[in-house]
Amino acid sequence: MYDSGIGGLTTLALLQAKLPGCGWLYFADNARMPFGSKSRAEVLEAAANALNILRKNADEIVFGCNTAGVTLDPDGVFALRPDIDSHPAQSTLVLATPRTLTGLNARERGFMCADTAELAVLVEIQLSLRFKSRTSLTCAPLADYLDDRLSRYRDKTKTVLLGCSHYIYAEREIRGIIGDAEYLDGNAPLAEKLCAALYEKYGTSPFLPACGTETKFIFTGGDESAKYRWILAKLREEYVPRFLKNGV
């Protein structure tokens, strides 16, 4: 699993629930975080470096980062990407980083695109504070920031694409502003694709007990393993159950 920071933990939490017999290596490129404000060349370089490392240490590779998934499309990698092709532009709000929006040509194609350039970093800060106090995964302090950027889309939006895995942590606050709409973050279809591919590849159930179940973390910056393990545990409590309840 690869991401610039904690966003991909949402993907990992769901995949661990779907594949309880698999071991995981989570590569957090936290020295380069955030990706969304970087140039295409910088993202390509970072993702290529990650691929070189992960291909030597993993059987399958997942990008839990929409920016990397949109910018780089390597063979054999399961990547998060906003599925804008499946939704009408005039009623779909795409929430994503500047690099992801550019890669999708979302504005040029007529989609509503809010200015949330700072959100990934703000979420990282909020979750670091939550870790220090060992409270829930709330982004409530970001409500005013989000209201300033999203309230204008309230009456126009039928579908919200959370096109950055960091934004998933703020979904409750986003729902509070936009209201009744369909909210999609891409993790469920990605999990379905990975499970199907494993089933086909190994010719058996994708729950692979022979792989071991350990989760390891590597970082390009400071070691944040304790924070990541705490967030991952909270996601299993607060995020994953709604997918399992819906049969995902």
Residue 92 pLDDT > 50: yes
Asked if domains 2-81+186-245 and 84-184 share a fold, the reply is: yes
Least confident among 24-38, 120-134, 144-158, 190-204: 190-204
**Among candidate residues 146, 170, 245, the one with its CA nearest the CA of residue 10:** 170
Q: Which parts of the chain fold into alpha helices (H)?
A: 8-18, 40-54, 66-71, 98-104, 119-133, 143-150, 171-178, 187-202, 225-238, 240-245
The mean pLDDT value for 11-38 works out to 91
- What does the alpha-carbon distance between residue 31 and residue 23 come to, in Å, rounded to a whole number? 24
* Backbone dihedral region for residue 110 (phi beyond 0: left; psi -120 to 50: alpha; all else: beta): left
Q: Look-up: residue for tokens 């959370």?
A: 162
Determine which of 19-28, 119-128, 152-161, 201-210 has the lowest per-residue pLDDT on average: 201-210
Domain 2-81+186-245 annotated CATH 3.30.379.10:
no
* Residue 51, beta-bridge partner list: none
CA dihedral sign, ordered 139, 31, 9, 71:
positive
Q: Note whether 194 and 62 are within 8 A (CB).
A: yes
Distance between CA 155 and CA 181 in Å, rounded?
10
Handedness of CA 201, 65, 168, 134 (dihedral sign): positive
Per CATH, which fold does 84-184 belong to?
Rossmann fold (3.40.50)
Domain boundaries along the sequence of the chain:
2-81+186-245, 84-184
What integer pLDDT is reported at residue 204 of this predicted model? 58
Quote the pLDDT of residue 214. Answer: 87
Higher pLDDT, 208 or 55: 55
Predicted confidence at residue 75, as pLDDT, reads 85
Q: Summarize pLDDT for 44-68 with one digit per residue, the tens.
A: 999 999 999 999 989 899 999 999 9
Q: Residue 118 and residue 111: Cα distance in Å, rounded? A: 20
> How many CB atoms lie under 10 A from the CB of residue 61?
20
Q: What pLDDT, on the 0 to 100 scale, is given for residue 210?
A: 47
Helix (H, G, I), strand (E, B) or coil at 27: strand
3-state SS, residue 38: coil
25/213 Cα distance (integer angstroms): 10
Residues 108-167: pLDDT tens digits? 999 999 999 999 999 999 999 999 999 999 999 999 999 999 999 999 999 999 999 999
Please, are residues 164 and 36 in contact by the beta-carbon 8 Å criterion? yes
* 92-95, strands of its sheet edge to edge: 112-113, 92-95, 159-162, 182-184
- What is the per-residue pLDDT for 216? 95
